[in-house]
């Protein structure tokens, strides 16, 4: 049982740590120290759900509906390119608030109206962050290939222990996203300048746009 668990952990980790849209988003949120827990939880839970779907055999069902895969591919391509263009705009014309690694706490200067306005803005940012995280995960065909099809297919070779293999892969996902999200703060000392953030956003823009285009243009 332990070897199967470790096999799932190893394969899951090797697939997850590749540079991609989801990892770059988690890294950026970790560097900003903004809504890290929700982002990490969403990514880990989404991976767990997709791995479970793959192990349960849903991947075979999806393969029989080719138009669904095409629709996901195009939706993912449009979203990734759009997100990449937004990152490119931040790199070209950065806003001052986007350059701060440490977000200050809500100020109480100005009375209850200021506090209420800050709370509304915080909720709005959280909603936007959650929706972006979900889109980067569920509209990315590469995520389905890695979790539903590949991990699900390999898990099926372990017979009755396939769910043990899946547990290993899920553990790898949780460990990786937690390390990436909360470990990113240790890189903040090198990304504390506007220039560093512009470079990071430029890298994000290039990766997102290339990934988006690659989804609809064959190599």
* Verdict on whether the full-model pTM lies above 0.85: no
Please check the confidence at residue 102 and state whether its pLDDT lies above 60: no
Torsion of CA 199, 32, 143, 219, to 10 degrees: -10
- Residues 138-165 have a mean pLDDT of 82
- Tell me the pLDDT tens digit for each residue of 4-58: 899 889 888 877 876 678 888 998 899 888 899 999 999 999 999 999 988 887 6
Is residue 34, in this structure, part of any structural domain at all? yes
- Whole domain around residue 97: which residue ranges? 2-102+110-213
Helix, strand, coil fractions of the chain, as percent rounded to 5: 85, 0, 15
Question: How far apart are alpha carbons 55 and 153 in whole angstroms?
Answer: 7
Is residue 219, in this structure, part of any structural domain at all? no
pLDDT band, residue 166 (cuts 50/70/90): very high
The answer to whether the beta carbons of residues 89 and 204 sit under 8 Å apart is: no
pLDDT at residue 173, rounded to an integer? 93
Please check the confidence at residue 108 and state whether its pLDDT lies above 70: no
The answer to whether the beta carbons of residues 152 and 59 sit under 8 Å apart is: yes
**Among candidates 23, 58, 57, which has minimal Cα distance to 143?**
23
Give the total number of structural domains in the chain.
1
Is residue 218, in this structure, part of any structural domain at all? no
Q: DSSP label at 171?
A: H
Is residue 72, in this structure, part of any structural domain at all? yes
pLDDT at residue 105, rounded to an integer? 42
């Amino acid at each position: 049982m332990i070897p199967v668990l470790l096999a799932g952990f190893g394969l899951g980790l090797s697939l997850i740590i590749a540079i991609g849209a989801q990892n770059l988003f988690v890294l950026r949120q970790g560097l900003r120290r903004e809504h890290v827990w929700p982002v990490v939880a969403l990514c880990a839970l989404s991976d767990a759900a997709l791995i479970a779907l793959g192990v349960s055999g849903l991947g075979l069902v999806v393969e029989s509906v080719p138009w669904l895969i095409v629709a996901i591919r195009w939706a993912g391509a449009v979203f990734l390119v759009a997100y990449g263009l937004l990152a490119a705009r931040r790199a070209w014309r950065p806003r001052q608030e986007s350059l701060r690694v440490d977000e200050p706490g809500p100020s109480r200067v100005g009375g209850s109206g200021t506090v209420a306005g800050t709370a509304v803005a915080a909720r709005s940012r959280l909603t936007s962050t959650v929706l972006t995280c979900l889109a980067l995960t569920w509209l990315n065909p590469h995520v389905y290939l890695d979790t539903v099809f590949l991990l699900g297919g390999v898990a099926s070779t372990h017979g009755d222990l396939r769910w043990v293999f899946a547990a290993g892969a899920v553990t790898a996902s949780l460990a990786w996203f937690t390390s990436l999200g909360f470990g990113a703060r240790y890189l903040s000392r090198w990304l504390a300048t506007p220039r560093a953030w512009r470079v990071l956003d430029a890298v994000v823009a290039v990766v997102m746009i290339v990934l988006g285009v690659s989804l609809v243009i064959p190599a």
